[in-house]
Chain A
Amino acid sequence: MANPNTCKFSKSHEWVDFIDETTAFVGISNHAQDLLGDLVFVNLPMEGDELEVGQVVCDVESVKAVSDIYSPVSGVICAVNEDLADAPEKINEAPYEAWLFKVENITKTEELLTLEEYEAFCKEEE
């Protein structure tokens, strides 16, 4: 669904796919799912949750650890990807299709990176 080439990335490894100026899908990057390893559970947020930039939104559990997911934007969650509740492995299989939540009324965005910048950032982090 989302195309990594047109997505924006946070330094905490989420991707953001804007469908208009104030609405976006959020998921985790291919690099992030690779670091996490096989996912066993996605603890999804609730529709209607209000988000602030940098806030913990939900968490994912892999065979290695429970890891928090941070919000790259301020806004309101208008949908969550319930499919992931039964099939967390979809994040490993197709991280850019497996969106976690959709945010509307986005008022603020953290400093986001392009794919190229993000890849350089990941290399630096290693």
Chain B
Amino acid sequence: MKLKFLNTYKTEPHHNLALEEYLFTIMAEDDCILYLWQNKSTVVIGKNQNAYKECKVDTLEKSGGSLARRPSGGGAVYHDLGNLNFTFLARGKNYNVEKQLEVIIYALSFFGLRAERTGRNDICVDGRKFSGNAFLKRGDRHYHHGTILVDVDMAGLSQFLNVSPKKLQAKGVASVKSRVVNLSELKPEITVEAMRSALKKAFEQVYKSSCEEIYEDDFDGRAIDELEEKYRSAKWLFPEKAKATFLMEERFNWGEISIGLELSGDRVKSASVYTDAMETELAPMLEEILQGCRFAKDELAGRLFAVSEDYKTIAEDLRQLILSQDL
């Protein structure tokens, strides 16, 4: 088995996922690659999750954060530069989850911490999770990747994750909430840089062999760019067959209204409006103007300017209603 080690200091999530998939495609039969990477403020969702259900996409984008979808399974996580990601890539029998986890556990032992695998996909210290893991298999190619929380901003985590399940309903894999801990809280000397070195050392010691360092500059940049484009695309982030429904209900002085949006991908496929307001043309008019709109607060609210002058007050109330949604 040939051990290879790749560190990247790029922090663009779509690029880093592209590089990961590139390694996955080009790895040789006897390679075992350890790849370390970090994403700047990003919500990463699992392959089969609905983006809107897991993540407040609007809030995230307005704060300058990114949304990314990984090809592996599991739930939504928040990454920032206080988090270090690792990926083990190998083929056939060289892929060994137990041994790969041992590398992480061994790396923590350098800092005097005793970590253990708990549940299916978590690694914990004293019952507190610092690492969540996910897996991908294509033919004999496998990868196992995970997070290592070193010094993540926990406020970001709660700010961007999870939308009210009462308002937004969609099929998909559900995320599981866990009690998480930053490693720097347990041992202040643990930094991302220290963790990178510890992992490389542990990788060599657990596999009892030295590793060759590989560099992104030696790869086919165009192939990586193409993959990056895929990861950034609306088609990948919001697949058309991912359906969801979003419901807003409110009582105003002119009457009660319920606006249901049926989403397909990142668009409103159709809207259903019910109201007891006296204005009978209102509901069909709203249904028409909301159809086809991208599911983002500003764009939805913007469409209400198309409501005819006669209903100006109502349109303004509804604009405020849309803008107040916690999306």
- Chain A residues at the B interface, C-beta cutoff of 8 Å: 12, 40-41, 43, 46, 56, 59, 61-68, 85-86
What residues of chain B have their CB less than 8 Å away from a CB belonging to chain A?
A: 46-48, 71-73, 120-121, 134-139, 142, 171-173, 241
Partner of B47 from A12, A43, A85, A86 at Cβ < 8 Å = A43
Q: Is the CB of B73 within 8 A of A62?
A: yes
Instruction: List chain A residues, Cβ under 8 A from B120.
Output: 63-64
Contact residue among B71, B139, B171, B173 (Cβ-Cβ distance under 8 Å from A12): B139
- Inter-subunit contact B137/A61 (CB<8 Å): no
Could you tell me the distance in whole angstroms from the C-beta of A100 to the nearest C-beta in chain B? 15
Q: Check B241–A41 contact: CB distance below 8 A.
A: no
Instruction: Find the A residue at minimum CB distance from B242.
Output: A43
Contact among B138, B172, B173 for A68, CB-based, below 8 A = B138
List B contacts of A59 (CB < 8 A).
Answer: 47-48
**How many pairs of residues, A versus B, come closer than 8 Å at their CB atoms?**
47
Name the CB-closest residue of B to A37: B120
**Contact sample, A vs B, 5 pairs, CB 8 Å cutoff:** A40-B73, A40-B173, A61-B173, A65-B73, A66-B72
Contact A65 B139 (CB under 8 A): no
Please give me the 9 A-B residue pairs with the lowest Cβ-Cβ distance, nearest first: A65-B135, A61-B73, A41-B48, A66-B73, A67-B137, A65-B137, A66-B47, A41-B173, A61-B48
**Contact (Cβ within 8 A) A65 B72:** yes
For B136, give its contact among A41, A43, A65, A85 (CB under 8 Å): A65
Q: A63-B120, A63-B121, A66-B136 are in contact. List 4 more A-B contacts (CB 8 A).
A: A65-B72, A66-B134, A68-B139, A85-B171
How far is the CB of A55 from the nearest CB of chain B, in Å?
12
A65: chain B residues at CB < 8 Å are 72-73, 134-137, 142
